[in-house]
Amino acid sequence: MRRILSGTCLAFALSVTTPALTASPDHFALVHAGTLLAVPGRAPEREMTIIVKNDRIVGVRHGYLDAAAAGLGSGADAEVIDLRDRYVLPGLMDAHVHLIDEPSFGRRSSGRGNRAGRTPAQAAVNAMVYARRTLAAGFTTVRDLGSDDQAVFAVRDAIEAGRMIGPRILVAGSALAVTGGHGDSLPLDATGDPHSRLHDGTCDGASECRQAVRYQYKLGADVIKFTSTGGFSWNTGLEPQLFPDEIEAIVSTSHLVGLKAAAHAYSATSIKQAVRAGVDSIEHGFLVDDEGLSLMRKAGTYLVPTLSASYPPPIFRIPNPESVRIRGEHRAFERALAAGVRIAFGTDAGTFAHGDNAKEFGLMVKFGMQPMDAIRSATITTADLFGLSADVGTLEAGRVADLIALAGDPLEDVARLLQVDFVMKSGRIAKQGGRMTAPFSHPPPSADF
């Protein structure tokens, strides 16, 4: 309270003793793009200029324009960014990451450093490092689907406040799971403690699941994630773990408070239950059946396929894990593609190294998606799932200036997306010439947290 009060008093004193501060002048950037894929799905164009004012695009014009030709006036603060030998496209998006995690097979199973003993502060440091690595890979917006009640919230807020440069993060907080289910990390002596259950996202029954959603909402969650089946990473099986009324309670409460709901679901039964309840996305969906695909297409439910999580080396150290066999036998991605289900780009990064997110493109193309459609999935389609279509996903006037550049044409070789050497996030250069800017390069805010 002392810090808040002193800050308020200082602000009042400044307001009565000093004149109003002059607003900072607008900053313009003229991005000269040799090849520009402004709207994935449309043909790319050659020799274009993207006109950026502060954090937004105000125009996209043919030719390499200077400030005068762009209509900025002789006194405008205009920076020219030369990408005439590069392929420029919108910043990429990943709908399924875990920023506090990354495989560490040398980690001890007990004592200092294990997952159960890791503090939120340690998790936040991880998230800072991995968020920066993700941005360096060209992913300017991500959705973190399962951390804890503090760590990724803090990193998201630091990025939004300009304390550090990183991707835009939509945070789920703790994934909701039933007692003993996939994601329940409570020790046995805390299983019955209501406070611990809320922090962990553990809930049983419709009433407690509604409370769990509201708790995440109060923390500031942008999306609700729940685990309706077991999963590979926790060895909790693949079958249903929630009753239909628990799923309905989670989804309806999420929508009631204005949040979307994402269901970790492998089993065909759980997928159909979640879709019937109105879930916004199915994560993984490896065992979906034809009826489930039909329901998803009719309802407009997104599949986030996370193909990268199925193939080694993510959390698995054996040559041919069960996940590869199951994915290969059921071919959920290929069948969803053929059925016309909307497919958003998501990787499950955290089960493998952050920064390798773009390897998902290679798998999507390998299993039948055209490179243009894969890029559209990671931009326009995922922006729609996020509810951010008015701001990101394309490079058009009015959109936030999130863009990346690479040396080759990803429509000819999608693996080019593994080598992003320029990143602009919200009008600020985050990576140039293959090198990231300083971690805390934004102007410091006026006060700390």
Q: Which residue has the higher pLDDT, 431 or 200?
A: 431
Say how many domains are in the chain: 2
Q: Is residue 277 part of a domain?
A: yes
Q: Is residue 446 part of a domain?
A: no
Among the three residues 348, 369, 386, which one is the final residue of a domain in this structure? 386
**260 and 222, same domain (yes or no):** yes
Please tell me the predicted confidence (pLDDT) of residue 115.
46
- Band (448; pLDDT cuts 50, 70, 90): low
Q: Is residue 16 part of a domain?
A: no
- Band (199; pLDDT cuts 50, 70, 90): confident
- What is the Cα–Cα distance from 332 to 107, expressed in whole angstroms? 33
Q: Is residue 11 part of a domain?
A: no
Q: Is a pLDDT exceeding 80 seen at residue 121?
A: yes
**379 and 427, same domain (yes or no):** no
Tens-place pLDDT, residues 133-173: 999 999 999 999 999 999 999 999 999 998 899 999 999 99
SS3 348: coil
In DSSP terms, which residues pair with 240 in a beta bridge?
229
What secondary structure does DSSP assign to 24-76, as a single string? PPPEEEEEEEEEE-SSBTBPPEEEEEEEEETTEEEEEEES---TTTTT--TT-
**109 and 74, same domain (yes or no):** no
**235 and 120, same domain (yes or no):** yes
**44 and 100, same domain (yes or no):** no
**242 and 173, same domain (yes or no):** yes
**294 and 311, same domain (yes or no):** yes
CA angle centred on 444, ends 440 and 447, rounded to 5°: 130
**334 and 211, same domain (yes or no):** yes
- Band (107; pLDDT cuts 50, 70, 90): very low
Q: State the burial class of residue 356 (Cβ atoms within 10 Å of its Cβ: 0-12, 13-18, 19+).
A: middle
SS3 252: helix
- Band (14; pLDDT cuts 50, 70, 90): very low
Q: Is residue 258 part of a domain?
A: yes
**191 and 105, same domain (yes or no):** yes
* Mean pLDDT to the nearest integer, 396-401: 98
* CATH number of the domain within which 51 lies: 2.30.40.10
Q: Is residue 302 part of a domain?
A: yes
**240 and 274, same domain (yes or no):** yes
**167 and 110, same domain (yes or no):** yes
Which residues form the domain of 364? Answer: 92-386
In DSSP terms, which residues pair with 50 in a beta bridge?
31, 60
* CATH number of the domain within which 342 lies: 3.20.20.140
- Band (394; pLDDT cuts 50, 70, 90): very high
- Band (35; pLDDT cuts 50, 70, 90): very high
Q: Is residue 371 part of a domain?
A: yes
Q: Is residue 44 part of a domain?
A: yes
